[in-house]
Structure 1
Amino acid sequence: MNVNVVFHIDESAKWELVLRNASHLIQMVDTPDSDIRIVANSEAVRELVPQSAGSALPMMQKLAEQGVHFAACNNSLNSFGIRPQELVPFAEVVPAGVLELALRQREGYAYLKP
């Protein structure tokens, strides 16, 4: 089974939950034919900086290796004074998290916000 899913995270405290959800999803779907994305905006972008990710970093790295795409909202990065080059290497910067979410939903992605 293949699925296209975009997880939305905007609260730092929810990273562990989102990562667990994505991990469980990967175990249940045909990963090469699925597209799983995690879009971070607001305060949640801070955990995409390795020094701030804490215990979430190993799970983020593992998910990225399994094909999960991570995206950080540029507006939020600017708000928190984070430069794109400070992010984990597997995170892409998108102009606006809300726009990325809307575009993915328009493409038929399931929207999940734990």
Structure 2
Amino acid sequence: MFKVLFHVSDNETWPKAVLNVQNFLKDVGKDGAEIEVVANAAAVVTYYNQEKADLLDQMKQLSETGVKFIACRNALNAHQLDENSIPGFVKVVPGGITEIVAKQAAGFLYIKP
């Protein structure tokens, strides 16, 4: 089984990142990978953007297959976003970079779409 970490740090990258995850899962199957998507910096804003409802729906569907979506608390605070209003499928971690380092140390392969 593959362990893969996708890192998204800007809002413009989200559509490509979601498509990358979808295509990867088509290739390996949902049981062929453990996938985490970490958003930090400006990318956390997309989690709150109702104009991106289709993209958020795709993320939610992926989460239902086991893909984990992560938001950096430091970035949420920097953008004055309420952690309690984040979609239910998103987990908040203290620091996005710390999460990335921890996952890489645990053997996850790093992808920056």
Report TM bin, short chain. over 0.9
Deviation at 1:48, TM superposition (A): 1.1
Deviation digits for residues 16-39 of structure 1, max 9, x if unmatched?
Answer: 000000001111124235210100
Where in structure 1 are there 5+ consecutive unaligned residues?
none
For the residue of structure 1 that corresponds to 2:107, the secondary structure is coil
Structure 1 equivalent of residue 8 of structure 2: 9
3-state secondary structure, aligned to 1:31: coil
Say if 2:62 is the partner of 1:63.
Answer: yes
Please state whether the residue corresponding to 1:54 is helix, strand or coil.
helix
2:112 is aligned with 1:113: yes
- Measured in 1, the distance between the counterparts of 2:29 and 2:54 equals 27
**Considering only aligned residues, what root-mean-square deviation do their CA atoms show, in Å?**
1.3
What letter corresponds to residue 67 of structure 1 in structure 2?
G
Cα deviation 1:75-110 (Å, max 9, x = unaligned): 000001111111111000000000000000000100
- Does the 8 Å contact 1:10/1:41 carry over to 2? yes
Are the equivalent residues in 1 in contact too, given 2:5–2:108 (CA < 8 A)?
Answer: yes
- Structure-to-structure mapping, 1:1-114, within 5 angstroms: 2-32=1-31, 34-49=33-48, 51=50, 53-114=52-113
* Residue type at the aligned position of 1:11: D
Query: Runs (4+) of structure 1 moved beyond 4 Å?
Result: none
Provide the C-alpha distance between the structure 2 equivalents of 1:92 and 1:19, rounded to a whole number of angstroms: 17
TM-score, with structure 1 as normaliser: 0.93
